[in-house]
């Protein structure tokens, strides 16, 4: 796939590790949906914000890095995902491809934090674990009933603080998903990658 100069690749280095879940079978549908599209890209504006978030992580937690699970997702892949979940309880977690996901614009990223040994921090639920406990908007409730621990919340806040301080917006029902700008603004001013 040829991308314009509006997009920048996220490459593994001292700040980032890449594990594109939809470019493997290690995802909630159990299929490699990305085929040959197996590198992580973001719109340059989102990539600049991500670089800033990585700097915050490294400054505040030396040895920690960001682990990228998903970035730019072509709309063709969005259609495959949508067909898998349409009519199921998971449908609410996947954007209708006709409207477009923020991933389809290269303006969203799914990620976590890994420690100095390369081990992901325990966030209480896994990536793409579509459970109530994955929802940042309900963390107080799940902390109170013991489903989530103080350590889980602390780890989530390490990620959330760096991302929000860099201009990202947390998705209310997925601790791992961050948009680089408001949805209405992105849909009005950016191009979907087919």
CB 111 within 8 Å of CB 66? yes
Cβ within 8 Å of residue 176, ≥6 positions away: 69, 110, 111, 112, 123, 127, 128, 134, 159
Give the CA angle between residues 81, 82, 83 to the nearest 5°.
90
- Strands (DSSP E) contained in the chain are 7-10, 16-18, 40-43, 65-70, 108-114, 169-170, 177-179
> 55, 129, 174, 194: which is the annotated catalytic residue?
174
Active site residue 17: no
* First-to-final CA distance of the chain: 10
User: Which residues are the active-site residues?
Assistant: 174
């Amino acid at each position: 796939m040829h991308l314009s100069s509006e997009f920048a690749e996220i490459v593994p280095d001292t700040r980032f590790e890449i594990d594109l879940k939809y470019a493997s079978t290690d995802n909630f549908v159990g299929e490699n949906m990305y085929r040959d599209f197996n590198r992580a890209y973001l719109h340059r504006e989102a990539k600049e914000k991500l670089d800033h978030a990585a700097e915050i992580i490294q400054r505040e937690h030396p040895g920690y890095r960001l682990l990228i699970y998903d970035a730019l997702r072509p709309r063709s892949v969005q259609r495959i995902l949508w067909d898998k979940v349409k009519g199921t309880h998971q449908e609410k977690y996947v954007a209708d491809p006709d409207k477009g996901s923020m991933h389809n614009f290269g303006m969203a990223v799914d990620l976590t934090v890994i420690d100095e040994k390369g081990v992901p921090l325990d966030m209480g639920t896994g990536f793409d674990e579509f459970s109530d406990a994955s929802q940042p908007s309900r963390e107080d409730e799940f902390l109170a009933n013991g489903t989530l621990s103080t350590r889980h919340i602390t780890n989530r806040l390490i990620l959330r603080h760096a991302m929000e301080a860099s201009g990202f917006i947390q998705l209310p029902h997925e601790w791992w998903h961050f948009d680089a700008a408001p949805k209405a603004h992105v849909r009005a001013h950016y191009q979907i990658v087919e």
